[in-house]
Amino acid sequence: MRKTYIILLCIFLSSVAYGQNNFYKLGIGGGAGITRSFTDVAIHGDAPAIYGTFDYFMTPYLSFGLEGQAGKIKGGDRIRDYHKREFTNSYKAATLNAKVYLGMLTDRGYQTSRLAEFFKGLYVGVGIGVLVNNMTDIVRVQPAGGIFAGGYVFPGRDNSKEILLPANLGINFYFKDNYGYERFVLNLNLQGSMSLGEGMDGYDDTTAIFKNRSPDIYAFGSVGLKYRFGPEGYHK
């Protein structure tokens, strides 16, 4: 009887382990990409930026993390822009974020299809943080040929801080270590971030003359690498 009980217990434990996926709960990463401005300055600009991340995984498909960015946001053209405006913002940003992965819906353990396995790292996410603006190049006085005579001074601040609301859409591609755990990650991400203020482009002109009614936004397309480590979690 005891022998039968031990055999049944071993079978049960084996079946439970078979249906589980082990995963690392922590991850760090970094990467680089290009920003594009969508502000009240009509002409969009592209510029480089870098980022670093630290993530905690509640499950393989639900994470909370910190992200830091540093780079440039550019826009306008002092010759081609209608109002002769142009800016370069050497910005920094720090945000808290949450991400939900497609694998939460498609992971069926060892019965997961190859297509579902390939796209399980697709995710969406939202967050909140702080944007630190620093105008390192900006047209403050309208050059000759503008709509104003006498050297109109564009109002605004060269340095400011404001709340930032990022949204993410991306995908992770996983590479396993010698133990069969997903250790290394290739990440592709598109982020759109809206600021609650007028500091991203450095201009705060009157709406009576300028189109200044929409929130300032910048997009950030990036490629990065991540490394998973730390305590292990178990997911059926």
SS3 196: coil
**For residues 174-190, b (16+ Cβ closer than 10 Å) or e, as one string?**
beeeeeeebbebbbbbe
In a domain, 164, yes or no: yes
Question: What's residue 123's pLDDT?
Answer: 98
Q: Nearest 5 degrees, angle CA 164-CA 44-CA 157?
A: 50
In a domain, 77, yes or no: yes
CB 197 within 8 A of CB 160: yes
Question: What's residue 150's pLDDT?
Answer: 62
Q: Is the pLDDT of residue 2 over 70?
A: no
Q: What is the pLDDT of residues 153-199, one digit of tens each?
A: 899 999 999 999 999 999 999 999 988 889 999 999 999 999 999 99
Q: What is the pLDDT of residues 15-38, one digit of tens each?
A: 333 345 689 999 999 999 999 999
- Say which residue the tokens 């997961």 belong to: 112
- The H-assigned helical ranges of 67-197 are 103-106, 114-119
Average pLDDT on 69-89 reads: 94
In a domain, 43, yes or no: yes
How many structural domains is the chain composed of? Answer: 1
Question: What's residue 44's pLDDT?
Answer: 96
Tally the C-alpha atoms within 13 A of residue 56's C-alpha that lie toward its C-beta.
5
What CATH code is carried by the domain that includes residue 201?
2.40.160.20
Question: What's residue 16's pLDDT?
Answer: 38
Of 60-69, 89-98, 172-181, 199-208, the one with minimum mean pLDDT is 199-208
Domain containing 196: what range? 23-231
In a domain, 1, yes or no: no
45/236: higher pLDDT? 45
In a domain, 10, yes or no: no
In a domain, 18, yes or no: no
Average pLDDT on 77-105 reads: 95
